[in-house]
Amino acid sequence: MTNKRYAIEVQGLTKSFGSVKVLKGIDLRVERGTVYAILGPNGAGKTTLVSILSTLLRPDAGKAEVFGLDVVRDADAVRGIVGLTGQFAAVDEGLSGHDNLELFGRLTGYGRKAAYARADELLDAFELTEAANRPAAQYSGGMRRRLDIAAAMLVRPELLFLDEPTTGLDPRSRSGVWDIVRTLVAGGTTVLLTTQYLEEADQLADRLAVIDGGTVIAEGTAAELKALVGSGTVQIRLARPELRSLAEQVLRRELNAEVRLHADPATLSAQASDPEPAARVLTELSRAGIATTQFSLGQPSLDEVFLALTGRPAEEAAEEAVS
């Protein structure tokens, strides 16, 4: 197990629910000791993939191995070395945070005293000591998420799955979770996380895969992916919506890129390969007498990645997955 290069190896993995094909042949390799992100819109099959890898679901066909152990044949052994923090918190809402960790600790094999002490330690490290004796049902989203991650840390997992660990969290809680992930990796754990935010993948992941409609449509480092998409996006909100077509011309000329007109009639965006031309846009706009109320140069959103990779926005992909 320790000499394996890959924490995860997946080949031709498929899974259907009834007649709905959710995974249509996924190939994936995750090197041990790294963070790997699965990026995809709603309904792409992220949770299904994580559930199969963490032995909660059986695949229909294909191979999935965790440190060389088959997730179906060696399910028990796999359960012994992976930790899972699912998309929806897997905690007992009727129990306090401390009781939750104590419960899971005892079910992991700790004796009463050891489980109690371990729960104390984990609550301390995850900043939940103050809420230790409150029912988990009263926890905020961020607290529940931390409790859920703590529950996956009762023994150090070789591989940790985090399914959308920061969806619905405020920026502070989000960066808290990011810090936890970085610490885990520093401690030697391999992390596979799913997310809908390219920024998150960029912040944390060594490599990432974009999945859509049950297949991997792009794979690589965040830098590679961004190069594919264009490193950033200029988004502009105009003071006067009627000037948008004028602004569109300026953007197209300066950035030499396709301009997106948003649903909001005052907003438009375009990809920018470098900050300089983006800055030039601002000067050119004011020279043309077009006032802006907002100007941002941001990372490409999942939406833009999608647009670049598939030619259609992520919401559409999500709708297709549902239908």
Partner 1 sequence: MSESTNGSKLLRILSVSARPARPNALHAVATFTWRSMRHTVSQLPYMAIDVLIFPVIFLLIFTYMFGGAISGSTGHYLQFLLPGMLVYTVTTMTVYIGIAIKTDIDKGVFNRFRTLPFWQPAAIIGTMLVNLLSYAAALATTIGIGLLLGFRPEAGLTGALLALLLVILYAFSVSWIFACIGVVVKKTESITSMTYIVLYPLMFTSNVFTDTSTMPDWLGRIVAYNPISLASTAARGLMHGTATAQDLIAALGGMILLTLAFAPLTFRLYLKKAKQ
Ligand X SMILES: Nc1ncnc2c1ncn2[C@@H]1O[C@H](COP(=O)(O)OP(=O)(O)OP(=O)(O)O)[C@@H](O)[C@H]1O
Cα–Cα separations (whole angstroms), residue 296 to 66, 214, 238: 42, 33, 12
Binding mask 160-189 for partner 1 (x = CB under 8 A): ---------------xx--xx--xx-xxxx
Q: With binding defined as CB under 5 A, does residue 195 bind Mg ion? A: no
In the list partner 1, ligand X, Mg ion, none, the entry touching 107 (Cβ below 5 to 8 angstroms by class) is partner 1
> Which H helix or E strand runs over 265?
none
Q: Which CB sits closer to partner 1, 158 or 202?
A: 158
Binding mask 27-56 for ligand X (x = CB under 6 A): -------------x-xxxxxxx--------
Indicate the residue type of 192. L
Tokens coding 292? 């802006």
Q: How far is the CB of 23 from partner 1 (least distance, A)?
A: 16
Q: With binding defined as CB under 6 A, does residue 323 bind ligand X? A: no
Q: With binding defined as CB under 5 A, does residue 47 bind Mg ion? A: yes
Name which position in 14, 16, 34, 87 contacts Mg ion (CB under 5 A): 87
Cα–Cα separations (whole angstroms), residue 291 to 162, 231, 271, 298: 43, 25, 20, 20
Which segments of 140-237 does DSSP mark as H helices, in order? 141-151, 171-186, 198-204, 222-229
Name which position in 29, 31, 56, 290 contacts partner 1 (CB under 8 A): 56
CA distance 88 to 148: 9
Who's near 248: CB < 8 A, 6+ residues apart? 259, 261, 268
Beta strands in the chain (DSSP E): 6-17, 20-31, 35-39, 61-66, 69-70, 82-85, 159-163, 190-195, 207-212, 215-220, 232-238, 259-261, 267-272, 292-298
Residues 127-156 close enough to bind partner 1 by CB under 8 A: 127, 135, 151, 153, 155-156
Q: Which stretch binds Mg ion (CB under 5 A): 1-9, 58-66, 80-88, 254-262?
A: 80-88
Compute how many other C-beta atoms are within 10 angstroms of the C-beta atom of residue 140: 12
User: Using CB under 6 A as the criterion, which residues of the chain lie in contact with ligand X when the complex forms?
Assistant: 17, 20, 22, 40, 42-48, 87, 321-322
User: Using CB under 8 A as the criterion, which residues of the chain lie in contact with partner 1 when the complex forms?
Assistant: 54-58, 75-76, 79-80, 82-84, 86, 88-95, 99, 103-104, 106-111, 114, 121-122, 124-127, 135, 151, 153, 155-156, 175-176, 179-180, 183-184, 186-189
